[in-house]
Structure 1
Amino acid sequence: MGHDLWLVFRREFGLSVRNPTWLGIQLMQPVLYLTLFGPLMERMVANTPGFPPGDVWTIFTPALIVMVALFGTSFVGFGLLAEYRNGVIERLRVTPVSRVALLLGKVFNNALQTLVQACVLILLAMLVFGLRAPVGGVLLSLVIAALLAVTMASSSYAVALTLKDEQAFPALLNSVMLPVLLLSGILIPITSGLAPDWLYTLSRINPFSHVVEAERASFRGEITIDALLTGSIVLVVLTGLAVWWGTRTFRRESA
């Protein structure tokens, strides 16, 4: 399967390299949040009790990395729908390529793009806004971002192949991703000191809020705290389920 995986990844990576504009477009939104919204949070973090430990950039930058992984990969199913419409999926049914490789080759390329965007955000925050974070914590945050990208890309491909409708697909994603964004604490942390009890409880149900907290903990260098452990466990479970779902869907469509 390794050879098949490499062939699919190389094809997807080549397509991405030939169209780098899309990568910049995806990065534009988090960069704007970092440069235009981040400075507004400085006084909030300094003067409002209930925020997580750390300055505004150790709170906001890792959350934006999660945003990149969430929204940069949740819509990759559009490309698969285009391939389905053009008959690519039909042609793949008669090839000996591993069905797992067909999924993971695409997913790993999406994860690589997420890591590139995350590195750009981190460098921008360090060079322009003075972000200070331990090297080990930053590397751990990139691992978390990569796993989250694998989770969302696998789920996006599974949803796209299940719906097979380019109008229903974005409508469903928007209806799901908006509450995920608001309840994950990406823009403003949802803590017991800031949010009403009912909103805090809802945020605990959202698994991605734990991933955001794990990302923030890694930027603070707090490797052993409960937030990092809980978020990591939640993310590993989500990744396993998403890859299983995506693989199962690919196998069914390619049978």
Structure 2
Amino acid sequence: MKLLRDTWLIFQRNLQLMLRSPMWVVLGVAQPVVYLLLFAPLLKPALATMGAHSQAEAYRIYVPGMLVALALAGGLYAGFDLLQELAAGIVERARVTPVSRLALLLGRAFRDVVVLVVQAAIIIVLSLLFGLTVGIPNLLIGYGILALINLTSASFSYGIAMKIKKPAVLGQLINNVAQPLMLLSGTLLPIALAPLWLRDTANGNPFNWAVTGMRELFTGNPDHSAVWKSFAMLGALAIVVIAWSGRKFAKSVR
């Protein structure tokens, strides 16, 4: 119970700080919206071999991948916010409080999940204007996948930030991690269009399964094996990453 109460308190504090600067939500969706408007219209001929014979069908393939990219990148860059708090001594002052060290991580990570949900809702509403259709139950299941991705990537970023504590090094490291993960996830174009060796490599990437699962949900196939496989793989990965990052917080804030 103490962990839940402390997590809620940290979550509330970080959410209030974010609400004081709502531009973060807008800036977070700025680039995806640009891709939605300028890149997605080019996909109809490129995805014709996958059955996307209309603009709406092309968006049904593209938008789920873009949402996964938003969840992954948004979480991975969350560590920069923590670096600011470290520099200001905010995390250091937690040493004299009885707050759970794991709650310091979870409260921040859950705040990031809420921000992601809002950003994803904005993108989906805009996509509806281009003919995208998706069932509400399938959309809610998709939100579960996105939440696991964001929770995992944000926890990883926070753990790395606690260890490195240098913005320049953190930025370079995150870029080196984010780019191959996204390319091997088929966020922009489906991995099915890639050579066999690249498809085999992507099969070991849980975020690739997440993209596949999201696309199946958006096409009305919630019973597809990629959906439950993505939940299983991302759930296990989230537990491992949170445990690792939680230890970093425990060691740094004693």
Which structure 2 residues correspond to residues 157-176 of structure 1 after superposition, within 5 A?
Answer: 157-176=158-177
The one-letter code matched in structure 1 to 2:153 is: M
Partner of 2:194: 195
The one-letter code matched in structure 2 to 1:64 is: M
> TM-score, length-normalised on structure 2?
0.94
Q: Percent identity?
A: 39
Asked whether 1:150 is paired with 2:129, we answer: no
Shift of the alpha carbon at 1:205?
A: 2.2
Shift of the alpha carbon at 1:171?
A: 0.6
Cα distance between partner residues in 2 of 1:163 and 1:26: 24
Shift of the alpha carbon at 1:50?
A: 8.1
Number of matched residues?
Answer: 249
Partner of 1:64: 66
The one-letter code matched in structure 1 to 2:107 is: G
CA contact (8 A) 2:145 2:230 kept: no
Cα distance between partner residues in 1 of 2:237 and 2:225: 18
**Which contiguous aligned blocks of 4+ residues in structure 1 show a shift greater than 3 angstroms?**
none
CA contact (8 A) 1:136 1:221 kept: no
Partner of 2:41: 39
Shift of the alpha carbon at 1:5?
A: 1.6
Q: Secondary structure at the match of 1:216?
A: helix
Unaligned runs of 5+ in 2: none
Taking only aligned residues, the RMSD between alpha carbons, in angstroms, comes to: 1.5
Partner of 1:216: 215
Which structure 2 residues correspond to residues 112-123 of structure 1 after superposition, within 5 A?
Answer: 112-123=114-125
Shift of the alpha carbon at 1:143?
A: 1.2
Cα distance between partner residues in 2 of 1:180 and 1:216: 17
Q: Secondary structure at the match of 2:184?
A: helix
The one-letter code matched in structure 2 to 1:160 is: A
Cα distance between partner residues in 1 of 2:47 and 2:133: 16
Cα distance between partner residues in 2 of 1:132 and 1:4: 39
Unaligned runs of 5+ in 1: none
Asked whether 1:7 is paired with 2:6, we answer: no
The one-letter code matched in structure 1 to 2:231 is: S
Cα distance between partner residues in 1 of 2:189 and 2:6: 43
> TM-score, length-normalised on structure 1?
0.93
Partner of 1:232: 231
CA contact (8 A) 2:109 2:154 kept: yes
The one-letter code matched in structure 2 to 1:176 is: V
